[in-house]
Amino acid sequence: MKITQEKLPASQIGLEIEIPAETSKNTYEKVVKEIAKTANIPGFRKGKIPRPILLQRLGSERIKAAVLEELIQDSLQEAIKQESINVLGNYQLKSDFEDLVNTYNPGESFTFKAAVDVPPEVNLGQYQGLQVKAEEILYKPEDVDKLIDERREKLATLVPVENRGAQMNDLAIIDFEGRTIGENGEEEGDILEGVEGEEYQVELSEGKFIAGFVEGIVGMNIDETKKLPLTFPEDYGQKDLAGQKVMFTITLKDLKEKELPELDDDFAQEVSEFETMTALRESLEKQYQEKALNDTQQNIQSAIVDELLKQNSIELPNTMIEEEVQNILLQTANQLQSYGMDVSQFFTREMVERMRETAKPEAIKNINTKLIIAKIAEQESISVDDEEVKNKCTEILEGLKNRNVDEDKLEKLVAYDLIAEKTLDWLQEKTQVELLPEGSLKPDEEDEENNPEETTESN
């Protein structure tokens, strides 16, 4: 068997394989005998069908196709073994199969072309002496206050309000309905679908409803009815309401205010394992300070990775890309399941195809990052010992009790993560980093979508 190799784009190797006449003849005879044993032709017992009848009834093209399938499969496996090719995935037939069937003559040699994906070559560009910019995340004491306030809100007691109108931060119970506003400025038509409610609880705080809704309730007294002419935003989630002018009729049924607990040691004991407010605050301050440092570190390393991707280009085989895309989809499915969603309802065929296309850029970036970091680690002799890997795996498994885990796969992932962590730390020492204020490297807020809370909670 004669084999000719050719290097192709996208990390493929092209193979031109010439099948000797003797191999062609032997395979043809073997396949015909196997077909004769299983073929079911009326008037003949299986295995006793004369060859001319078999060829006439089944057709020579069908038999030649079966022979070629076996020849191509067997010869490719032999060629890969003979040439010591590290193959990823299955082969791709480059010759037209129909043409092969038409030109193939049993007992004669024939040639076909195929291609196989192989691991990509990683020829490193610059990776030392890089210059990057990253956002520095600073500790903000107000974050601690905000978290304490949130926990305080959860423990708030709702107290009925008497002898005053609604105020911001109250909880209002309302009946409401909305109708279209006509050209004359008057409401008209039936109640709009989705724009009505009875005994509806409204927390009177900014930013949760369309502009003017909460503000219109402020000042109302219990049993008071009020009309509010409002306009839904142009980017409202319910498209038939986007930009619509609507007259809301609102009746305040009940009103309650929040009575917040005192920020004392009793509060600390109720919301945490700490005995005093001082201890609780100190713990939260430490957590947020560590988080700020970790976030800054993550920003620096992300910037280094982005710069590495600019400096190093790798031709990736489709097999690797498709495998990583599949991993991303599986991670998405697992996350959705953890939220209690029915994955079978969400992952329709059309949705999966769209998700596969959307996931490709992320998959390509993931693969390039892994390959470049692994190559740098190899070149700089950065490694981890078995004990480190074992200890980390044990730690992870303790948190995954009662769950089936492929421990061999986990070990490989942990080994890579530990090496990547060490490699990125090493790269950071060799990189000139310019720290910038938080938010300075992010895109303009105008390009971002509006807060989804503003498009849902008034329905």
Adjacent-strand bridge partners of 3:
17
pLDDT at residue 50, rounded to an integer = 66
Structure tokens at 337: 């399941």
The secondary structure element, H or E, covering residue 110 is strand 110-117
* Cα angle 138, 144, 148; round to 5: 165
Adjacent-strand bridge partners of 157:
259
Instruction: Assess contact for 251 and 175: CB atoms under 8 A.
Output: yes
Instruction: Assess contact for 220 and 226: CB atoms under 8 A.
Output: yes
**CA-based nearest residue to 255, from 178, 168, 177:** 168
pLDDT at residue 256, rounded to an integer = 94
* Cα–Cα distance for residue pair 103/106, rounded to 1 Å: 10
Using DSSP bridges, classify how beta strands 432-437 and 12-19 pair: parallel, antiparallel or unpaired: unpaired
pLDDT at residue 63, rounded to an integer = 84
The residue whose two tokens read 């205010």 is 257
* Cα–Cα distance for residue pair 175/173, rounded to 1 Å: 7
**CA-based nearest residue to 427, from 372, 367, 362, 363:** 372
Phi, psi of 164, deg, nearest 5: -160, 165
Distance of CA 261 to the CA centre of its chain: 41
Low-confidence ranges of the chain (pLDDT < 70): 37-57, 402, 443-459
Structure tokens at 381: 């002799």
CA distances from 338 to 132, 402, 406 (A): 37, 15, 19
Q: Which residues of 414-435 are buried (b: 16+ CB within 10 A; e: fewer)?
A: bbbebbbebbbebbbeebebee
The answer, as to whether pTM is greater than 0.85, is: no
The residue whose two tokens read 């299983």 is 38
Phi, psi of 335, deg, nearest 5: -65, -45
Instruction: Assess contact for 137 and 295: CB atoms under 8 A.
Output: yes
Phi, psi of 238, deg, nearest 5: -85, 105
pLDDT at residue 124, rounded to an integer = 92
